[in-house]
Amino acid sequence: MKSSSFLAVLGLCVGAAVARPATDLLFQNNLNYTDDANHNSFLLLDQRSTQALAAQACRDGFSETLVSTPQAKSSMSDLVSLLTYYGTPSVWLADGILEVRDGKLKFGPAKKGSSLPALCTQSTKASLSFQPVNQSATTTVRNSATKNTFTGYRNLKSFRFLGIPYSNSPGRWEYSSLNPSRNQAYNATAFGPSCFQTGSSKYSEDCLFLNVFTSHLPADGARTTRQLKPTLVWIHGGAFTGGSGADNTFDGANMVSRGDVVQVTINYRLSTLGFLALPGTNITGNYGLADQITALEWVKHNIEYFGGDPSRVTIYGQSAGAGSVRALLASPPARSLFSAAIAGSNLGGYDYGTTYSKYYTIEQEYQAAGMAVVNASGCDGQADVVACLRAVPPSTLVNQSTVARFVVVDGKYIVADQLDVRDRSKTANVPTLWGVMAEDGAPFLPYVTAGETRPQALQSVLPSPYQQAATANTSLFPIPSSTTNSSLNLFNLTAQVGTDVIFRCVDQATVYSALNHGVFPNAWFYQFERSYQTPGFDVNAPTCDAPKTKERPNGDTRLPYLRCHSGDLYYEFGTLGESRLPYRDALDLDFTRLIMDYWSSFVRSHDPNPSADYLEKRGYVQTIDLIRKSGQWRPVGKSKQGSVRLLDVPPRQSTYQRQQQCEVEGLPVDLYEAGK
C-alpha cells in the first residue's frame, strides 16, 4: 500500500486535487492597529516537498504564490521572529531558499534534491472585522468524523469561521443538544443572527451559532494532536438579557495571532427565552446555560479540525459571562468540558449582584420574574399557560418590564444554590483567574444627588445591618479628595463600596476558600488600575472616562477617573481598532500588549506569566521590559492576605484589596467558611 505522503505527491504530479497540508497564518502582531498596513502576513505550509510542488500547493490551496526574495526582505524582522518561533529555519521562496541563522535571514539559491516547507504570500490586507476582504480568500475545514465541511475566510491576522450552528435548533423552552448533522456543507463567512433581546429586529430565536478564530489549520480532515493550540471559549456578558458572540469587541484575530491560541465566541439564549422557569411545568429554566454547555460539547468534538486542542479548553466570561463561568464550575454536565476558567468582574454579594452567585429555586424565580412574565403576556388564568406563552411573539417577551434572567436550581444543570468552594467533588478542579475593576460597581449605582450627605450615600449601597458601622468609621470609609468636585468625590466613595459589595468581596472570598479546601489547584487574582470604557456601556459618563484636556484631547490617564465595569475588554482582546478608538497615550498600547500576553499565557499554560523563552522568540520586547521591571504575577496562595496583581503600567503586586472594608460590610474573606 502506498503511503499517504506518496499519494499526495502523486496527486500533484498528475494534476489531481490536493489535500491542504497543515497551515499556519503568520503575522507579527504588535497590537498597534494603525501600523497593520506596514506589516505582511504569510502562510506556512507544513509539508516538505520540492520547490515546484510547494508553489503548486500555495496556488491550489490558497490562490497564492511562493514569497519572493524582495517580499521576504521587506519583512525581515517579522520573519526572523515568526520562523524562529515556529521552528522552521528553512523554507522555499519563489526564487530560492530562505534560512534563519543566528537571528538573521539568509537567502540562497534552490538546491537540487531539497525538500522544504512552503512560505506562501497572504494577500488579504484587511485587518479589522468591518473592512472588506478578498472574497477568493476562502478556506474549507472538513470534519472527517461527521463529513461536515465549514468554509470560512482569512484576513491579515487569522482564519475566520463564522456563524456555525452548534446545536439542533431547539424549540422555545427546549434544551439544546449537539448539532447532529452529517455530510453538510456550511458557509461560515458571516455571523449568524444574535439571540432575541431588546433593540434590533434582526434577532432570532434560531440563534445558537458560534465563531472560530484560528491561525493554525491541521492537514485537511486530519485527526491529530500535533501542533494543536490551546482553546479559549468566550462567553459574553450582558445581564443574561443582551450581548452576542458577534460583538467585534471580542473579535479573535489579535488573540490568536499574538497569543498563539484558538478562540471561540458563542451565542446563547437570553432573557425570558433563555431563563424562564415555571413551577409545575416542564419549563425548568437555565436554557441559556445549557446552550453554553452544548457549545462546549461542539468544541470537544470539532475544534481539533480548526487547530484547537479539545483537551486544553479555557472558558472565559466577563460580567454575566463570569456569572456563567461560576455556574459552569458548579454544573455537573459541564465539568469535564474545560481545563481552566477565567471569571472577570463576577457579581455576587448584595443588591443587583446577589443572584449571579447565589441561585434561586424555581419557585423563587417565579416570584421574582416568572409571575410577572405570565401576567404581562396575558396568560394568567389560561387553561394551558405554557401553550399561551409559546404563542407570544419573542420580541414581546424580551421587551417586557420584567424578564427572567436568573440562573436557577433545576436539578440537572445546577444542583445547589451556590458554587461549593469547600467540597472538591462538587466543583470543577481547574486553575482559575479572577479579578475586578478598581471601581467595577460605579455604572450600577445612581449618581449622587444635590445635597446628598456621606451617611445617605453609604445607606444607598449598603444593607441596613452594616450602614451604622460603615458610617461611623471615617478612616475606612472616607470621602476621597482626588478631585475638586465634591459630588464626584462622594460618588467615588459609593463606587468603592458598591464595588466591594457587588464584586470584590465575594470573589476574594470565593478564591480564598476554594484554595484552602483544595477545590482550585491554583488561582490568580487581579484588579485593573487602568481602563478604557466601552462607549456602549458608559453609565454616569464621564466619570468612567479619563478627563480630556487640551494637551491630551483623547483623555489624560494621569488624571483621576473611575476604572469601571467593562473597561478591561479592549485590553484583553486588543480591539480598540474595532471601535475606531485611539490609543490615548503610549502606555495604552504597552498595557494592551501586557494584558493580552498575560491572558493568552493563562490559556496556553494555565499560568498568566508568559515564559521568557516565548516572549523572546516572539519578539515581544515591551512585555519583556515591563515584566522585568515588575516581577512575576504571584498566585493567590492560601493566606488571608492573599496576593493580587494591580494591573497598570507597570503592574505591581499587592494583597487582597479592602479586606477591612469587606469585613465591616458583612462580606469577609472567610465568608464561605463554616459558621459564617
pLDDT tens by residue, 569-613: 999 999 999 999 999 999 999 999 999 999 999 999 999 999 999
Q: ω into residue 650 within 30 of 0, thus cis?
A: yes
Q: What is the CATH number of the domain that holds 461?
A: 3.40.50.1820
Alpha helices, DSSP H only, in 336-443?
Answer: 362-365, 371-376, 385-390, 394-398
Are 475 and 593 part of one and the same domain?
A: yes
| Count of structural domains within the chain | 3
pLDDT tens by residue, 421-446: 999 999 999 999 999 999 999 999 99
> 67: phi > 0 → left, psi -120 to 50 → alpha, else beta; which?
beta
Q: What is the band of 676 on the pLDDT scale with cuts at 50, 70, 90? A: low
- What is the reported pLDDT for 223? 65
In the chain, the percentage of residues whose pLDDT exceeds 90 is 90
Amino acid identity, residue 34?
Answer: T
Are 344 and 284 part of one and the same domain?
A: yes
pLDDT tens by residue, 469-515: 999 999 999 999 988 899 999 999 999 999 999 999 999 999 999 99
R_g (Cα) of the chain, nearest Å: 26
Q: Are 40 and 75 in contact (CB under 8 A)?
A: yes
- What is the reported pLDDT for 463? 94
Are 60 and 176 part of one and the same domain?
A: no
Q: Is residue 418 situated within a structural domain?
A: no
- What is the reported pLDDT for 646? 98
In whole angstroms, give the CA distance from residue 477 to residue 496.
Answer: 9
Q: Is residue 182 situated within a structural domain?
A: yes
- What is the reported pLDDT for 199? 79
pLDDT tens by residue, 61-93: 999 999 999 999 999 999 999 999 999 989 999
54 lies in which domain range? 20-122
pLDDT tens by residue, 165-189: 999 999 999 999 999 999 999 999 9
Q: Is residue 2 situated within a structural domain?
A: no
Which of 229, 253, 237 lies closest to 162 in space, CA to CA? 253
DSSP class of 358: B
Are 443 and 557 part of one and the same domain?
A: yes
Strand partners, 310: none
Q: What is the band of 674 on the pLDDT scale with cuts at 50, 70, 90? A: confident
Are 117 and 142 part of one and the same domain?
A: no
In the chain, the percentage of residues whose pLDDT exceeds 70 is 96
- What is the reported pLDDT for 497? 97
Are 33 and 113 part of one and the same domain?
A: yes
Q: Where are the beta strands (DSSP E) in 289-383?
A: 308-318, 340-344
> 169: phi > 0 → left, psi -120 to 50 → alpha, else beta; which?
left
Are 109 and 153 part of one and the same domain?
A: no
Q: What is the CATH number of the domain that holds 59?
A: 3.10.100.10
Q: Is residue 417 situated within a structural domain?
A: no
Q: Is residue 129 situated within a structural domain?
A: no
The pLDDT of residue 16 is above 50: no
- What is the reported pLDDT for 536? 86
Which residue carries 516547507 as its cell? 117
Are 347 and 271 part of one and the same domain?
A: yes
In whole angstroms, give the CA distance from residue 623 to residue 612.
Answer: 10
Q: Which three cell numbers stand for residue 464?
A: 441596613
**537-556 average pLDDT score:** 95
Q: What is the band of 135 on the pLDDT scale with cuts at 50, 70, 90? A: confident
Are 108 and 170 part of one and the same domain?
A: no
In whole angstroms, give the CA distance from residue 273 to residue 241.
Answer: 9
Q: How many helices (H) and strands (E) does the chain have?
A: 21, 20
Cα angle 267, 272, 274; round to 5: 35
State the Cα torsion 164-168-169-174 to the nearest 10°: -140
- What is the reported pLDDT for 224? 65
- What is the reported pLDDT for 369? 97
The pLDDT of residue 415 is above 70: yes
Q: Is residue 407 situated within a structural domain?
A: no
- Please provide the distance, in angstroms rounded to a whole number, between the alpha carbons at the two ends of the chain: 70
The pLDDT of residue 45 is above 60: yes
**286-303 average pLDDT score:** 98
Instruction: Strand 116-122: give its sheet, edge to edge.
Output: 104-108, 96-101, 90-93, 116-122, 41-49, 23-26, 216-217
**6-13 average pLDDT score:** 35
Q: Which three cell numbers stand for residue 222?
A: 486530519
- What is the reported pLDDT for 221? 67
Q: What SS3 class is residue 646?
A: strand
- What is the reported pLDDT for 638? 97
Are 342 and 367 part of one and the same domain?
A: yes
Q: Is residue 161 situated within a structural domain?
A: yes
Burial 632-647 (b: 16+ CB within 10 A, else e): ebebbbeeeebbbbbb
> Last residue of some domain: 56, 90, 122?
122
Average pLDDT across the chain, whole number: 94
Q: Are 119 and 49 in contact (CB under 8 A)?
A: no
Q: Is residue 361 situated within a structural domain?
A: yes
Per-residue H/E/C for 20-69 = CCCEEEECCCCCCHHHHHHCCEEEEEEEEECHHHHHHHHHHHHCCCECCH
Residue 124's φ and ψ, nearest 5 degrees, are -75, 125
DSSP 130-186: TS---TT-EEEEE-TTT--EEEEEE-SS-EEEEEEE-B----TT----B----S-EE
pLDDT tens by residue, 219-254: 986 666 668 999 999 999 999 999 999 999 999 999
> 216: phi > 0 → left, psi -120 to 50 → alpha, else beta; which?
beta
The residues, any chain, with a CB within 8 Å of residue 243's CB and separated by 6 or more, are 194, 197, 236, 237, 270, 320, 321
Are 377 and 448 part of one and the same domain?
A: no
Residue 604 parent element (H or E) = helix 586-605
Q: Which residue has the higher pLDDT, 201 or 367?
A: 367
In whole angstroms, give the CA distance from residue 21 to residue 151.
Answer: 16
- What is the reported pLDDT for 8? 37
- What is the reported pLDDT for 11? 37
Are 451 and 369 part of one and the same domain?
A: no
pLDDT tens by residue, 512-527: 999 999 999 999 999 9
> Last residue of some domain: 379, 398, 417?
398
What is the Cα 227 distance to its own chain's centre? 22
> Last residue of some domain: 81, 98, 122?
122
